[in-house]
């Protein structure tokens, strides 16, 4: 059902009414809320044999390829069509192209379901110690850590607005910086994911990779300080760091759930994680957006303080994880 709701994207090609378009967009977001926990659960189960870090790294790299390809397809179409004609008609033609990836996605999902109807068996093939039947204290501490550090993670939309409003970057440079950040996200995800697996293998402990999570607040703390300056070089560095942190979010944060939850509670674990992550991102972005109009220094202070607060929670979580293991 979650992937089926992606039909709302090509359906945008059939409407010129904004209310209907808004309904399709909401439908797609609702579909993502349904498919994300299930998708992450399946990736975690399928990647246990090769390493959860690598599994989520591959998932993130493929995700970024798709995220870059979509806008490039639309841009290419607009270049071919030119500036003549109705603007709505142009977008309708653009969205009509997305029937192709939608059909391919549904074909892949159907094939995967037929080929592996019970993905949890992929993980059961890996020898594991007996597991508890509930979410651990370590998991809930991890959820608190995720909430705090994500709430303090500055949204790129606000960063881009700052670049534009203060003439730090031109209109053309802002999406270019974002594209560079996204590209680095994919590259960082690969290296960080494999490093996460290497730490676990070297220590012979599935929870040893949690140490990598400390990099999130330590890197994130510099983003607002650099991004909200008026310097071009600092703006570039902030975009690069933002991309690296996003890569950690999309790989290690998700990989950790697989190593902290029993198979029977894996879906619940990812559901809780996605809810906590989404709420933190929403609240953090809303608060920083409101503060930005009053004081940029206040935005920086809030973001920095939240990342500092995340550090002791990280050490509590790590201590609990190793006591249990």
Q: What is the pLDDT of residues 106-117, one digit of tens each?
A: 998 899 888 887
Phi, psi of 122 (to 5 degrees): -65, -40
Tell me which of 259 and 325 has the higher pLDDT: 259
Higher pLDDT, 311 or 46: 311
Distance from the Cα of residue 97 to its chain's centroid: 25
Q: What is the pLDDT of residues 179-221, one digit of tens each?
A: 888 889 888 988 999 999 899 888 888 788 889 999 999 999 9
| CATH code for the domain of 133 | 1.20.1250
The domain of 192 spans: 4-324
pLDDT at 145: 97
- Rounded to whole angstroms, how far apart are CA atoms 236 and 324? 42
> What is this structure's pTM?
0.81
Count of structural domains, the chain: 1
Whether pLDDT at 291 is above 90: yes
Name the H helices within 204-231: 215-220, 222-227
Q: What is the mean pLDDT of the chain?
A: 86
d(CA 244, CA 131): 33
pLDDT of residue 325: 55
Q: Which residue has the higher pLDDT, 130 or 271?
A: 271
């Amino acid at each position: 059902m979650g992937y089926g709701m992606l039909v709302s994207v090509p359906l945008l090609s059939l409407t010129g009414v904004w209310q209907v378009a808004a309904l399709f967009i909401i439908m797609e977001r609702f579909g993502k809320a349904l498919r994300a926990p299930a998708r992450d659960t399946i990736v975690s189960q399928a990647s246990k044999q090769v390493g959860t870090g690598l599994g989520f790294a591959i998932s993130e790299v493929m995700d970024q390829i798709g995220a870059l390809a979509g806008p490039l397809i639309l841009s290419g179409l607009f270049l071919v069509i030119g500036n003549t004609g109705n603007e709505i008609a142009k977008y309708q033609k653009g969205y009509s192209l997305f029937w192709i990836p939608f059909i391919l996605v549904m074909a892949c999902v159907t094939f995967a379901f037929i080929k592996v109807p019970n993905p949890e068996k992929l993980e059961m093939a890996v020898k594991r110690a007996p597991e508890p039947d509930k979410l651990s204290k370590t998991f809930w501490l991890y959820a608190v850590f995720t909430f705090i550090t994500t709430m303090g993670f500055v949204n790129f939309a606000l960063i881009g607005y700052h670049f534009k409003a203060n003439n730090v970057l031109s209109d053309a440079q802002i999406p270019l910086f974002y594209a560079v950040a996204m590209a680095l996200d994919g590259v960082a995800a690969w290296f960080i994911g494999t490093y996460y697996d290497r730490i676990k293998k070297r220590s012979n402990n599935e929870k040893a990779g949690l140490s990598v999570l400390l990099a999130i607040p330590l890197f994130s703390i510099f983003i607002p300080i650099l991004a909200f300056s008026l310097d071009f070089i600092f703006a570039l560095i902030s975009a690069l760091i933002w991309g690296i942190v996003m890569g950690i979010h999309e790989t290690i944060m998700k990989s950790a759930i697989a190593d902290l939850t029993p198979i029977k509670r894996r879906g619940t674990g990812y559901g809780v994680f996605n809810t906590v992550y989404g709420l933190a991102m929403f609240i953090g972005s809303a608060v920083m957006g409101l503060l930005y109009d009053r004081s940029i220094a206040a935005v920086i202070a809030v973001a920095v303080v939240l990342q500092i607060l995340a550090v002791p929670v990280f050490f509590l979580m790590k201590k609990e994880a190793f006591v249990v293991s």
